[in-house]
Structure 1
Amino acid sequence: MIQFHNRNFLKERDFSKEQLELLIDFAEHLKLKEKHGIPHRFMSGKHLAMIFEKQSTRTRSAFTVAAGKLGAQVEYLNKDDIQLGAKESVEDTAKVLGSMFDGIVYRGFDQATVESLGEHAGVPVWNALTNEWHPTQMLADFLTIKEHLGDFHGKTVTFVGDGRNNISHSLLITGAILGVNINIVAPKALQPSISIQKLACEIKEDSGSSILVTENIEEGVYGSDIIYTDVWCSMGEEDALEERYTLLHPYQVNQSLIDMTGKAHTIFLHCLPAIHDTKTDMGRTVFDKFGMDGYEVTDEVFRSPYSKVFQQAENRMHTIKALLAATCGDVY
């Protein structure tokens, strides 16, 4: 664990294949301790600052609960509480918070902001989501895959939907690092940028994974061990509902798409929240506009036995706990 001490986790490439694997294994170990009621207060007396410029359910809850179970205290700072980037530079804010707190969590828009915090804080900084990357989500995803399929090496994860978002970016890079095959199935207008694809192709040379980016649903889905999707309209893009429907409705994850994998043990993942029924404002809007009972995924798939979305959500806490303990705790 010594190689993690005081390290930032700002994007997936901050850690090597071996380090990511060790974090996932450590999370599995801490999850077992949790289930058996074995204390693991590796962060007693520590204090964490949580800067959240975007809404959050799972990430905020996971960091808060993980820190508490490790013995740390958290201070939540939303965008209206501090002067970050408004009356005070990111560098100055980082230096102030770093002098008082033992670690900083940042969830916001620009990757450059969390990079600057990491450069100047002098304490570990963790990316809880930016427009470009979502690294802590990846730890939970690959732990979930390992739990259900025994291993993630050599498996094929297929992301279906809007391939330009942070989840598809993070899957491409994390898969390339870990030796996991990653398919991105999306219309041409919503495929990952060439620069992201190129980076993933460079990284995969060391791990032996494969990468496929295609608009052909059958080609991309066949042979998949995991089908993964995300909301078609991310935070702040709700006005693009009709445009995304036009582009993406053939890419809805439904039972017919799952059957295209040709595998009996394919699992379904979603980082949540999901528009899968009419029990939310967005779900009702989708039904009224398009007659769809579900948007990016049907309720049938979402609630199926092979859907592991809630275990995946719980694993946010276990993997974040491992990350906090390894980088900021007393586990050595």
Structure 2
Amino acid sequence: MNHFQNKSFLKEIDFSSSELTYLIDFAAHLKYLKHHNIPHPYLQGKNIALLFEKTSTRTRSSFTVASIDLGAHPEFLGKNDIQFGKKESTIDTAKVLGRMFDGIEYRGFAQETVEQLAQYSGVPVWNGLTNEWHPTQMIADFLTLKENFGHLNGLTLTYLGDGRNNMGNSLLVTAAKLGVNIHIGAPKALWPADSVVKLAQEAAQKSGSHVLLTEDPTEAVQGADALYTDVWISMGEDVDPAERINLLKPYQINQALLDQTGKDSTIIMHCLPAYHDHLTEVGKALGEQFQMAAIEITDDVFNGPHSVVFDEAENRMHAIKAIMAATLGDLFIPDQLFE
């Protein structure tokens, strides 16, 4: 009996707060097993397809290592490796892969693509990131929060920057579901879509959490237990960099903004990659063009004592492992836990 068996993990709104909490706590358990060298081959003999339309460091590494730790064989299929969408439809691809693989990860652009893979493959499909949602990141992020504070309910998370991207959407609804107060600090033009805000507000009413959207970065960070940001221009997004950077400059996470939280215990989070210095081609080009030492987060904060960004990055792997094992591992997870 497994409550999650053969379910896909496509977006956070498909799961209840108790289901999300289970995955977070299961990830913490698997992290303990990994750190203590205790084998956990729940997916022995399974074959996993890793479909990547977008490049990746953490998602690809996490799914690969998680698969191997679980006893499964991961097969990477990049956008140039298969006919995906060009010579063969997503639906036909799904039907083929579902007959050969036991589970499929997809990282790409359209949410519709990952939904079609799940509908037509007949095996669990896991969303490694789409334009709309980033659900595996959420299990990692809220695991990181729980590790630092011992609980989630009643915490306040502030997200600053582009509120309409997949991170803004995912953090908004997941926090609301888990009883975490969520503040979005962003210019109105970059607030999440009304439909996503409505979903979050409905979830917040049930969980008792508070949702705040504000254009004032100082108001956004008041009382925050965590400050969170992401790159200001998403992968593949066609925007004028000057317009976007000038719009978001007031929302940069720096020491002055961190000091505004009113708390000494505030942690700093980022889903990475981050342009906190000039040691990347993009960070250097943007930094030189706009005469900024860093873009969305300053280096002193990114590498400072409040930062948990690399714990958070590691937690991607434990979170993804929990999701894969729960949905494909024939585990004993009774329905009564979620009633």
Superposition map of 1:157-306 within 5 A:
157-237=157-237, 240-306=240-306
2:319 counterpart residue number? 319
Q: Distance in 2 between matches of 1:46 and 1:78?
A: 20
CA distance in structure 2 between the partners assigned to 1:217 and 1:31 by the alignment: 35
Residue of structure 2 in register with 1:125 after alignment: 125
Once the two structures are TM-superposed, the CA of residue 239 in structure 1 deviates from its matched residue by: 5.4
2:308 is aligned with what amino acid? K
Number of equivalent positions: 332
**Residues of 2 paired with 1:311 and 1:149: CA distance?**
14
Q: CA 1:7–1:218 in 2, change beyond 3 Å: closer, same or farther?
A: same
- For 1:90 and 1:287, how far apart are their aligned partners in 2? 39
Q: Is the 8 A contact 2:5 2:330 kept in 1?
A: no
Q: Give the CA deviation at 1:79.
A: 1.3
Equivalent residue, structure 1, for 2:18: 18
Distance 1:286 1:260 in 2: 27
Letter in 2 for 1:171: L
The within-5 A match list for 1:149-164 is 149-164=149-164
- Residues 87-166 of structure 1 correspond to what in structure 2 (within 5 A)? 87-166=87-166
Equivalents in 1 of 2:188, 2:178: separation in Å?
26
TM-score normalised by structure 2 residue count: 0.96
Which residue type is aligned with residue 266 of structure 2?
A: T
SS in 1 for 2:44: coil
SS of corresponding position for 1:85: coil
Distance (whole Å) between structure 2 residues aligned to residue 131 and residue 290 of structure 1: 27
Moved more, 283-292 or 268-277: 283-292
Q: Could you tell me whether the CA contact under 8 Å between 1:224 and 1:266 is conserved in 2?
A: yes
TM-score (norm 1): 0.98
* Counterpart check, 1:79 vs 2:86: no
| Offset, 1:238 | 6.8
- SS of the residue 1:158 aligns to: strand
Distance 1:35 1:75 in 2: 25
**Structure 1 portions without partners, runs of 5+:** none
Distance 1:239 1:185 in 2: 20
Displaced runs of 4+ in structure 1, greater than 4 A? none
1:6 aligns with 2:6: yes
SS for the counterpart of 1:269 is strand
Structure 1 counterpart SS, 2:42: coil
1:239-297 Cα offsets, whole Å, 9 max, x none, are 53211111011111000000110001000000000000011111211221121111000
- CA deviation vs aligned residue, 1:220-245 (integer Å, no higher than 9, x gap): 11100000000001112375321111
Deviates more, 1:312-321 or 1:191-200: 191-200
Matched-pair contact (CA < 8 Å) for 2:269–2:312: yes
Q: Give a deviation string over 1:280-331, Cα, whole Å, max 9, x none.
A: 1112112211211110000010001110000000000011111111101143
Residue 232 of structure 2: SS of its match in structure 1? coil
Distance (Å, rounded) in 2 between the aligned partners of 1:40 and 1:70: 6
Corresponding residue for residue 45 of structure 2: 45
Cα distance per residue 1:191-243 (max 9 Å; x no partner): 11111111211222211111001101111111000000000011123753211
Kindly state the Cα deviation for residue 150 of structure 1 after the two structures are TM-superposed: 1.0
2:296 aligned partner, one-letter code: E
SS of the equivalent of 2:77 reads strand
Identity of aligned residues (%): 59
- Tell me how far apart the structure 2 counterparts of residues 87 and 281 of structure 1 sit (CA, whole Å): 33
